[in-house]
């Protein structure tokens, strides 16, 4: 399918400094994590430690900005962390970063190294356009709890990504739903890098360029389009 992304006026009003960069990819080759993707994640953790220089992830100015925005739409950021902060905490802990699959490992490494939320969706499983909106509270979010599929609903005013079938990611970039996630069978994807002021747009572009290069490396011959930040 052709990628179509929109950001609502309500989200723009909540976070005027929001920027997102999208990478569209077809002909991807996914599979289980490898020694190479594992090494990539370890290197990302080392790069993060250098970037933070002894600070906690939430003390980074970009992560602090995300905490302010989470608070603004009614979420406690110390309990519900944006995806980059949550991964950074894992990277610095004894547990280390999870190994999921090649594509997820690649975008998680970029997220941690650049301290920017990055998400990936299987474009073949997305239904219609993707929208970043403030939820009404009536939308369906299909997830798994206790091993069983269940339907949740976002809080009214919560920022969510959604397609025509329902919510694909709750609380902006906190929890992705299983319906559109990248699996080992995925061959088409969209990768979203999301930033707030004070992260310069040039830094977002550098992170996007690194991700595009890694996608090409791990999926030779893939058709990759980097869309300008918006």
pLDDT in tens, 70-128: 999 999 999 999 999 999 999 999 999 999 999 999 999 999 999 999 999 999 999 99
Q: What is the DSSP letter of 229?
A: P
pLDDT over 70 (residue 25) = yes
pLDDT in tens, 155-183: 999 999 999 999 999 999 999 999 999 99
The reported pTM is 0.97
pLDDT in tens, 185-220: 999 999 999 999 999 999 999 999 999 999 999 999
Mean pLDDT estimate for the chain? 97
pLDDT over 90 (residue 147) = no
pLDDT over 70 (residue 1) = no
- The residues, ordered by sequence, that sit 6+ positions from 176 with a Cβ below 8 Å of its Cβ are 119, 121, 168, 169
- The residues, ordered by sequence, that sit 6+ positions from 7 with a Cβ below 8 Å of its Cβ are 18, 20, 131, 132, 230
Give how far Cα 97 sits from Cα of 47, 51, 75, 113, 216, Å: 13, 17, 25, 12, 22
Domains contained in the chain, CATH given: 5-226 (3.50.40.10)
């Amino acid at each position: 399918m052709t990628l179509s992304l929109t950001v609502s006026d309500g989200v723009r009003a909540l976070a005027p400094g929001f920027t997102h960069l999208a990478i569209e990819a077809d002909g991807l080759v996914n599979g289980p994590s490898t020694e190479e993707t594992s090494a990539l994640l370890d290197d990302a953790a080392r790069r993060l430690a250098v970037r933070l220089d002894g600070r906690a992830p939430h003390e980074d100015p970009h992560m602090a900005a995300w905490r302010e925005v989470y608070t603004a739409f009614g979420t406690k950021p110390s309990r519900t962390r944006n995806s980059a902060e949550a991964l950074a905490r894992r990277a610095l802990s004894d547990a280390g970063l999870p190994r999921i699959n090649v594509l997820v490992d690649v975008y998680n490494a970029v997220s941690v190294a650049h301290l920017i939320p990055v998400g990936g969706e299987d474009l073949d499983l997305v239904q219609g356009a993707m929208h970043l909106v403030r939820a009404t509270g009536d939308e369906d979010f299909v997830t798994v709890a206790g091993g069983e599929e269940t339907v949740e609903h976002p809080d009214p005013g919560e920022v969510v990504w959604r397609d025509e079938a329902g919510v694909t990611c709750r609380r902006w970039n906190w929890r992705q739903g299983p319906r559109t996630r990248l699996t080992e069978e995925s061959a088409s994807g969209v990768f979203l890098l999301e930033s707030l002021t004070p992260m310069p747009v040039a830094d977002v572009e550098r992170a996007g360029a690194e991700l595009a290069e890694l996608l090409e490396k791990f999926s030779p011959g893939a058709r990759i389009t980097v869309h300008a930040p918006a």
